[in-house]
Amino acid sequence: MELESILLPGVDPKRPMVIAGPCSAETEEQVLTTARELAANGIKIMRAGIWKPRTKPGGFEGVGSEGLAWLKRVKQETGMYVSTEVATQKHVYEALKFGVDLLWVGARTTANPFAVQEIAEALQGVDIPVLVKNPVNPDLELWIGALERLYNVGITKLGAIHRGFSSYDKKIYRNLPQWHIPIELKRRIPNLPIICDPSHIGGKRDLIQPLSQQAMDLGYEGLIIETHCDPDHAWSDAAQQVTPVRLKEILDNLIIRDSKQTTEDLSELRKQIDEIDDQLLEILAKRMRISREIGTYKKEHNMTVVQTDRYGHILNSRIVQANEMGINSDFMRIILEAIHEESVRQQVIILNK
């Protein structure tokens, strides 16, 4: 993809791009009070949900187009840029009519190609930055597909928002980060800016600082953080919103890493890693060859592929051994299970030949 920068004029390109504001626009007073406090704390781009996709009916579904006039006032009074989520063609036309500067596609919408296609068609010929949140389900292709639909109508100021992925049982996070998915997105589309949404990943205000730092450590280009003048009384997502003053503290505490720094000093170590990876591959190939030989033996003797006792023994003894060598047990278990699964697959092929 040939992308243009999503940076809006006047926004410092050396700092992470920060978008902050309430989950939802609630009243004109709440929007303007929050906006003034954000502007006083140096924020340049405000967010506010105008149309809210809610899991169940009966929740607050957003103030609708009325709130767009409040955002227009924010621009006039504070000079901040404003942004909102769009989920339908009508949302796009209304937001553009009121001069919204940046749009994003929400996680539930990204998961629906029909909806994304409609939004894309409404944006044809419009020069505006558009950010695409990850779909609620951990499907990288769906995320890329949504970006491609927008790119195909000529939107080149594109970015991605990592807001985490739904899971059935919520423990620490409201939405599991699964950092490897946005990392893989960056590998596939290297010039695509990625913005972290620690508010929706964490679901709790205490997690915003550590999640934001992790995003900076991974070289993310920006943050979108839910910020409200009176977080505890927010009409949606109260537990994860912070005040503009707290936001400023969070941002001031961040350590911003330099992704452009030269990596010459690392080249020797990287060479060693390359060599070790070569060895790992050779060893794995050898292990698979032996597995296939065992498969041939099992076929000749009419044995089943999986010998449960043996597998249990391998798993446990190797994990103990790994632990002694300073390797994390959960990590080792994943590796061993993957190797075992592939060995079984190879042997099943042989048995059925």
Please give the residue ranges that form the binding site for ligand PEP (CB under 6 A).
23, 49, 53, 85, 106-107, 133, 163, 200
Q: Which is nearer to ligand PEP, 74 or 196 (CB)?
A: 196
Q: Which is nearer to Mn ion, 23 or 131 (CB)?
A: 23
- How many helices, marked H, and strands, marked E, lie in the chain? 13, 8
Residue from the set 18, 20, 23, 216 that interacts with Mn ion by CB under 5 A: 23
Nearest approach in angstroms of CB 329 to ligand PEP is 33
Alpha helices (H) along the chain: 28-40, 66-78, 89-97, 107-110, 113-122, 140-152, 180-188, 198-202, 208-217, 244-253, 267-300, 308-324, 329-351
Nearest approach in angstroms of CB 160 to ligand PEP is 12
Q: Which does 162 bind (CB under 5 to 8 A by kind): ligand PEP, Mn ion, none?
A: none
Q: Which does 203 bind (CB under 5 to 8 A by kind): ligand PEP, Mn ion, none?
A: none
**Rounded CA gap, 141 and 216, in Å?**
24
Q: Which is nearer to ligand PEP, 37 or 85 (CB)?
A: 85
- Residue 208 in tokens: 């915003």
Q: Which is nearer to ligand PEP, 237 or 347 (CB)?
A: 237
Phi, psi at residue 346, to the nearest 5°?
A: -65, -40
Phi, psi at residue 102, to the nearest 5°?
A: -150, 140
Q: Which is nearer to ligand PEP, 149 or 200 (CB)?
A: 200
Q: Which is nearer to Mn ion, 133 or 157 (CB)?
A: 133
Which residue's CB atom is positioned nearest to Mn ion?
23
- Which residue stretch of 36-44, 231-239, 265-273, 336-344 sits at the interface with Mn ion (rule: CB under 5 A)? 231-239
Q: Which is nearer to Mn ion, 30 or 343 (CB)?
A: 30
Q: Which does 163 bind (CB under 5 to 8 A by kind): ligand PEP, Mn ion, none?
A: ligand PEP
- Residue 53 in tokens: 């996709």
**Rounded CA gap, 208 and 205, in Å?**
5
Q: Rounded to whole angstroms, what are the CA distances from 7 to 18, 50, 146, 273?
A: 10, 23, 21, 36
Q: Which is nearer to ligand PEP, 161 or 319 (CB)?
A: 161
Q: Rounded to whole angstroms, what are the CA distances from 30 to 62, 64, 70, 89?
A: 13, 15, 10, 27
Q: Which does 118 bind (CB under 5 to 8 A by kind): Mn ion, ligand PEP, none?
A: none
Nearest approach in angstroms of CB 204 to Mn ion is 13
Nearest approach in angstroms of CB 338 to ligand PEP is 31
Q: Which does 16 bind (CB under 5 to 8 A by kind): Mn ion, ligand PEP, none?
A: none
Under the criterion CB under 5 A, does residue 20 sit at the interface with Mn ion? no
Nearest approach in angstroms of CB 21 to Mn ion is 10
Q: Rounded to whole angstroms, what are the CA distances from 87 to 51, 74, 341?
A: 8, 22, 41
Q: How many Å separate Cα 131 from the centre of its chain?
A: 11
User: Which residue type occupies 14?
Assistant: K
Q: Which is nearer to ligand PEP, 186 or 200 (CB)?
A: 200
- Residue 106 in tokens: 């929400």
Nearest approach in angstroms of CB 136 to ligand PEP is 7
Candidates 227, 225, 231, 232; CA nearest to 211 is: 225
Nearest approach in angstroms of CB 255 to ligand PEP is 26
Q: Which does 133 bind (CB under 5 to 8 A by kind): ligand PEP, Mn ion, none?
A: ligand PEP
Mask of contacts with Mn ion, 235-254, x by CB under 5 A?
Answer: --x-----------------
Question: Tokens 């280009």 identify what position?
Answer: 221
Q: Looking at the DSSP assignment, which residues form a beta bridge with residue 160? A: 132, 194
**Rounded CA gap, 180 and 198, in Å?**
16
Contacts with Mn ion, residue ranges (CB under 5 A) = 23, 237
